[in-house]
Amino acid sequence: MFILSFNFPLLILVTFRFKQALNAEESLLSVKEESEKQPKEQWVNLGGEADMKVLYSSPYPESVKSAPLFFVCPFCLKPFSERCSFLVHQDHCPRITPPGREIYRDATASHSFFEVDGAEERTYCRNLCLFAMQFLAWKTRHSEIATFLFYVLTRNDDDGCRIVGYFSKEKNPSRNYNLSCLLTVPSEQRNGYGQLLIDMSYQLSRMERKVGGPERPLSDRGLLTYRKYWRSSILCYLRSAKDCHSISLKSMSLATRIHPTDIVHQLLHDNLLVMKDENYFFRTWKRAYKLPLSMLRRRVVDPSRINWTPKFDVTMLDPFKLNCYV
């Protein structure tokens, strides 16, 4: 067992907030889902073979909202109510990548990340939010896009860079949030893109020398995706620290860039904390080695491929302190 160093009042406070947050998420999500569920069956096609079922109402033009099946350009995200007009647009769309700056490219895996400023690319970002609203109970309101940056993940082929997911982030984050909204395109799920998006958000936090986490409340699917990422990150860290007698919450947070509150949430959720002689212990050293490797795997970005610098001077921030976004 590892000794985990943090004080008892912090654990009580975090436990209370954890239960409070879970209760708030459940009640708010149920109200949201009941009030904004798609009233009729509708499908959307993002320029591919698969039609995706719309889950929530989105304020598209009436012609699009009334179509049983409508189409969205995978490059500019413009919606079309008819297949013929979509096909004409596809042949003449001037865009083959998202707007903004490409900050990451993995030629081997054939995917990229683009940073798009909501204030500079209003039309694209508004279309992105309208598309996301069909699948998310919680999302960036399209009227507030100027205050956000959007990080668009694409799968690249000979035709261009097609969106497979994105996350948004406030330009001036509050309450330690390094991610506001997360979406993997439904037809692209189960390919590990959600883990890749989350990992990029934490890599950017690392480059900013800050510690953060996702904005609450999380959707059910979003919470599951984050739990998988947190569990994998924590267990991988414990495996690397097998020769250490004690581990501090601070050291784990600095190594993973996961906020201490989220680390404790995950440990409590997985029942991995025990108390003995007024000390708290991880029950994970042996478990980390016995777990199947599939529990530890997650798609991650290669930090050496990131072409990005923070928008502010980080030289005054101590990399060995838990610098927050507030």
Q: What percent of the chain shows pLDDT beyond 90? A: 55
The reply to whether 56 and 205 lie within a common domain is no
Q: pLDDT at position 267, please?
A: 85
Evaluate whether residue 57 is within a structural domain: yes
Number of domain units in the chain? 2
Inform me whether the pLDDT recorded for 138 exceeds 90.
no
Evaluate whether residue 146 is within a structural domain: yes
Q: pLDDT at position 221, please?
A: 85
The whole-angstrom separation of Cα 95 and Cα 76 is 6
The reply to whether 185 and 79 lie within a common domain is no
Q: How many CB atoms lie within 10 A of CB 320?
A: 10
Contact 41, 68 (CB under 8 A): yes
The reply to whether 257 and 109 lie within a common domain is yes
Q: Which residue has the higher pLDDT, 168 or 235?
A: 168
Q: CA–CA distance from 25 to each of 19, 49, 258 (Å)?
A: 10, 34, 20
CATH number of the CATH domain containing 174? 3.40.630.30
Give me the helices (H) in 113-215, please: 122-132, 193-207
Evaluate whether residue 102 is within a structural domain: yes
Find the radius of gyration of the CA atoms of the chain.
Answer: 21
The whole-angstrom separation of Cα 104 and Cα 301 is 9
Q: Which residue has the higher pLDDT, 106 or 282?
A: 106
234-247 pLDDT, tens digit each:
888 887 877 777 77
Task: Tell me which residues are annotated as active site.
Answer: 215
Q: pLDDT at position 16, please?
A: 47
The reply to whether 64 and 174 lie within a common domain is no
Q: pLDDT at position 312, please?
A: 84
Contact 202, 192 (CB under 8 A): no
Evaluate whether residue 291 is within a structural domain: yes
Evaluate whether residue 114 is within a structural domain: yes
Tokens of 157: 């082929």
119-129 pLDDT, tens digit each:
999 999 999 99
Within 8 A by CB and 6+ apart from 316, the residues are none
Q: What mean pLDDT do residues 97-101 have?
A: 97
The reply to whether 145 and 164 lie within a common domain is yes
The reply to whether 134 and 226 lie within a common domain is yes
Among candidate residues 64, 90, 116, the one where a domain is terminated: 90
The reply to whether 66 and 108 lie within a common domain is no
Q: pLDDT at position 272, please?
A: 76
Q: pLDDT at position 244, please?
A: 74
Dmax over CA atoms of the chain, in Å, equals 72
Q: Which residue has the higher pLDDT, 255 or 28?
A: 255
Q: What mean pLDDT do residues 70-94 have?
A: 97
The reply to whether 285 and 139 lie within a common domain is yes
Evaluate whether residue 26 is within a structural domain: no
171-197 pLDDT, tens digit each:
988 778 999 999 999 999 989 999 999
- With both helix axes pointing from N to C terminus, report the angle between 220-240 and 193-207 in degrees, rounded to the nearest 10: 60
Q: Containing domain of residue 103, as a range?
A: 2-21+96-305
Q: pLDDT at position 275, please?
A: 65
The reply to whether 102 and 198 lie within a common domain is yes
Dihedral sign from CA coordinates of 321, 222, 108, 297: positive
Q: pLDDT at position 271, please?
A: 75
Q: What mean pLDDT do residues 116-143 have?
A: 87
Q: What mean pLDDT do residues 101-110 have?
A: 94
Residue type, 268: L
Evaluate whether residue 15 is within a structural domain: yes
The reply to whether 101 and 239 lie within a common domain is yes
The reply to whether 102 and 85 lie within a common domain is no
Q: Which residue has the higher pLDDT, 272 or 67?
A: 67
Within 8 A by CB and 6+ apart from 147, the residues are 118, 119, 170, 171, 172
Q: How far apart are the first and last CA of the chain?
A: 34
The whole-angstrom separation of Cα 211 and Cα 325 is 7
The reply to whether 121 and 154 lie within a common domain is yes
Q: pLDDT at position 169, please?
A: 95
Inform me whether the pLDDT recorded for 32 exceeds 90.
no
Tokens of 313: 């001077």
Q: How many CB atoms lie within 10 A of CB 122?
A: 13
Q: What percent of the chain shows pLDDT beyond 70? A: 78
Question: What is the reported pTM?
Answer: 0.86
Contact 75, 97 (CB under 8 A): yes
Tokens of 8: 């008892």
The whole-angstrom separation of Cα 284 and Cα 157 is 42
Tokens of 326: 């507030």
Q: How many residues does the chain have?
A: 326
Contact 259, 17 (CB under 8 A): no
- Average pLDDT for the chain: 84
Evaluate whether residue 119 is within a structural domain: yes
Inform me whether the pLDDT recorded for 3 exceeds 70.
no
Inform me whether the pLDDT recorded for 34 exceeds 80.
no
